[in-house]
Chains A and B, each alone.
Chain A
Amino acid sequence: KQEVTQIPAALSVPEGENLVLNCSFTDSAIYNLQWFRQDPGKGLTSLLLIQSSQREQTSGRLNASLDKSSGRSTLYIAASQPGDSATYLCAVILSSNTGKLIFGQGTTLQVKP
């Protein structure tokens, strides 16, 4: 059974720091991995999607990497800002025949001014 784990559960950093959020999955046979952001009481915003054949994806100050063999993904946020404060969730999809996302519990990030 695929399980997704995110460490740490919470993180507090001063504004301007570069930071890394971690995501691990137990079964390396994934189809793709997606990172989302969730603001309190709101829905999820898609940040980056990495296909299983890719090693990384970049969007602005965000960079996500994927190492299937070790069952790990990282989300790198450069020059963090208070507006980055949110919960970050990673989720995997196991095959092309299903859209079922298997989520981690998330990392809640606070960026202090």
Chain B
Amino acid sequence: KAGVTQTPRYLIKTRGQQVTLSCSPISGHRSVSWYQQTPGQGLQFLFEYFSETQRNKGNFPGRFSGRQFSNSRSEMNVSTLELGDSALYLCASSWGVGGRSPQFFGPGTRLTVL
């Protein structure tokens, strides 16, 4: 079974631009979550989606948004990029809702904002 895939793997943008990251979950998984990882703040929760519905949202500004499609693939968008948005963005998929099954992570997208 293929694992969680994320595209692109690396991205360089400039301040003020916007970016879209993509996540394809493990086949059969319907839940996708997104996390931001930085050296200072560690891993912080962004969103959780299940069956195209956002179930939970972390404490991030409205510039961060996401969505999930009917095939469970998910995208997250960051508008008006700031230097502090430079981070590794990780998505995770799981079979069921919430914490009832283990979560499996993708390799991440490394975003650098100049």
Residue A101, interface by CB 8 Å: yes
Q: Known contacts being A43-B108, A95-B99, is A100 close to B45, with CB within 8 Å?
A: yes
The minimal Cβ–Cβ distance linking A86 to chain B, given in whole angstroms, is 14
Across-interface contacts of B31 in A (CB, < 8 A): 99
Out of B100, B102, B106, name the residue touching A43 (CB < 8 Å): B106
Residue pair B94, A99 in contact (C-beta under 8 Å) = yes
Across-interface contacts of B33 in A (CB, < 8 A): 99-101
User: Which residues of chain B (39-61) have a CB below 8 Å from chain A?
Assistant: 42-43, 45, 48, 50, 55-56, 58
Q: Known contacts being A43-B90, A45-B105, A101-B33, is A96 close to B42, with CB within 8 Å?
A: no
User: Which residues of chain A (66-113) have a CB below 8 Å from chain B?
Assistant: 89, 91, 93-106
Across-interface contacts of B98 in A (CB, < 8 A): 31, 93, 95-99
Across-interface contacts of A44 in B (CB, < 8 A): 90, 92, 105
For B48, the closest partner residue in chain A by CB is A99
Interface set of A (CB-CB < 8 Å, partner B): 31-32, 34, 36, 41-46, 49, 89, 91, 93-106
Q: Can you pick out 29 interface pairs between chain A and chain B where the beta carbons lie within 8 Å of each other?
A: A34-B102, A36-B105, A43-B6, A43-B108, A44-B105, A46-B102, A46-B105, A49-B102, A89-B43, A91-B43, A93-B98, A95-B99, A96-B97, A96-B98, A96-B99, A96-B100, A97-B55, A97-B98, A98-B55, A99-B33, A99-B56, A99-B94, A99-B97, A99-B99, A100-B33, A100-B56, A100-B58, A101-B33, A103-B42
Q: A41-B88, A100-B56 are known; give 11 further A-B pairs, CB within 8 A.
A: A43-B6, A43-B90, A43-B107, A96-B98, A98-B55, A98-B98, A99-B94, A99-B97, A99-B103, A102-B45, A103-B43
